[in-house]
Amino acid sequence: MATTIAMALTLPPPPSLELARDLRWRNPLRIHPLRLRPLQALRRGESSPLPPTLRALGGSSAAAPSEAVAEGEEKEEEETFTLLASITSRYNEITIVDSPKSRLLLLDNSGNIHSMIKKENLWTGSYWDEFASLPAIIPHGPIAILGLGAGTAARLMLELWPSLHLIGWEIDETLIYMAREYFGLSNLEKCTKSGGSLSVQIGDALSPSATVEGGFAGKLNCLKTHAQSIDSIIVDLFSDGKILPQLEEVETWLEIEKKLMPHGRIMVNCAGKNAEASNDGDRTAPTNVLAITSWMKNSTIKTLCRAFPGKVSWKKMEGEDNYLALTGPPPDLDTWSAAVPSQLSLSAKQWKPCELD
């Protein structure tokens, strides 16, 4: 499904007093020099190739381009980005860069990409695409996105499932302001022809108030605040390039589960393997056993397994050191694969239950 995303942006609403203070007292055009151009800071409107270490949040660093190109291969043209904005908020150092092919949101020193828009097609080629498969296996109801960022997951989901009611939680009001101005977030807040929309909530996604009456159908940790259940929850919560420490606690997940309606699910971006577990464990074990237990390298998935024994599935993103987790009974992969767009069909079959043998 090749879809061109228009970059027409509507004027953002007036900033609140706190946001206005952020915008007024920021370090103007502050930029991390090593992120965009070695040893030099970019000025607004200047261009530079991004370094090879930039990556989707949780994924492994892209390898630096090889100086030697194999015979018969053409060296890929380096994509050049222009700095659009860079400000420091209460929570983040927000940098937005643009190229003819994509627009990226960077928030910290890690080199992680927190949100992106691909201008020539819908798909990101990273974990946000996986989030868009969740509506096919959950009850009908509102879906929470914990850690909205600039709305990459929400944009994908509303394009594929335009009747969805999404509720996105983001703690950084300045980030939301910038996302409305540079990523067209305000367009997602308008009702689609099918009645779907995104409701943006500013606040702590893990607070007791981050729920709706009746529960969520699903959660994507990446939320409307009423007391109504949520169908599912997407979790994509990071700070300084690391998954929030609260997500390493069983009690946090049990509290999140209470916000789900019956048969709802949680899908989580768990980032990569832990440094202490990066030695791959017992290298004498058969390859198929190592593949089955690969999830044990990720502490967030291990925490989820303690919280929901026998009800956690996982997958590792192809070409990335990045894990995703899904709660609930193991889904029927053939049914799931048949219910999603063809671009996600094969990927839906790659989920595995967390098993020790």
Residue 178 in domain: yes
* 73 pLDDT tier (thresholds 50, 70, 90): very low
Contact between residue 292 and residue 302 where contact means Cβ atoms under 8 Å apart: no
pLDDT number for residue 242: 84
Give the CATH number for residue 228: 3.40.50.150
Q: Which residue spans within 191-337 are E strands per DSSP? A: 197-202, 218-221, 230-235, 238-239, 242-243, 260-271, 312-316, 323-327
Is 93 a member of any domain? no
Phi, psi (5° rounding) for residue 301? -65, -40
Q: What is the pLDDT of residues 74-84, one digit of tens each?
A: 555 667 889 99
**Is the pLDDT reported for residue 220 higher than 60?**
no
Whether the per-residue pLDDT at 193 is higher than 50: the answer is: yes
Range of the domain at 329: 127-353
| pLDDT confidence of residue 231 | 79
Most confident of 35-39, 211-215, 290-294: 290-294
Q: Is residue 242 part of a domain?
A: yes
Instruction: Indicate the DSSP class of residue 213.
Output: B
- Judge whether 166 lies within some domain: yes
**For the chain, what is the domain count?**
1
Which range, of 3-17, 144-158, 267-281, 326-340, averages the lowest pLDDT?
3-17
Domain contains 184: yes
Q: Are 104 and 115 in contact (CB under 8 A)?
A: yes
Higher pLDDT pick, 105 / 224: 105
Kindly report the average pLDDT of the chain as a whole number.
76
Q: How confident is the model at residue 65 (pLDDT cuts 50, 70, 90)?
A: very low
Question: What one-letter code names the amino acid at 147?
Answer: G
CA neighbor of 348 nearest in space, from 312, 329, 324? 324
pLDDT digits (tens, 9 = 90+) for 231-286: 789 999 988 778 899 999 999 999 999 989 889 999 999 987 653 344 444 444 44
Q: Which residues contact 325 (CB under 8 A, 6 or more apart)?
A: 266, 267, 268, 270, 295, 300, 301, 304, 312, 313, 314
Residue 107 covered by a domain = no
Question: Degrees (nearest 5) of the Cα angle 215, 216, 221?
Answer: 135
* CA 233 – CA 142 distance, rounded (Å): 9
- Per-residue tokens: 36: 């965009």
Q: Would the pLDDT of 63 be above 60?
A: no
Residue 90 lies in a domain: no
pLDDT at position 70, please? 44
Cα separation, 260 vs 263, in Å, equals: 8
pLDDT at 130 over 50: yes
Average pLDDT of the residues in 329-335: 96
Of residues 45 and 26, more confidently modeled:
45
| Residue 292 within a domain | yes
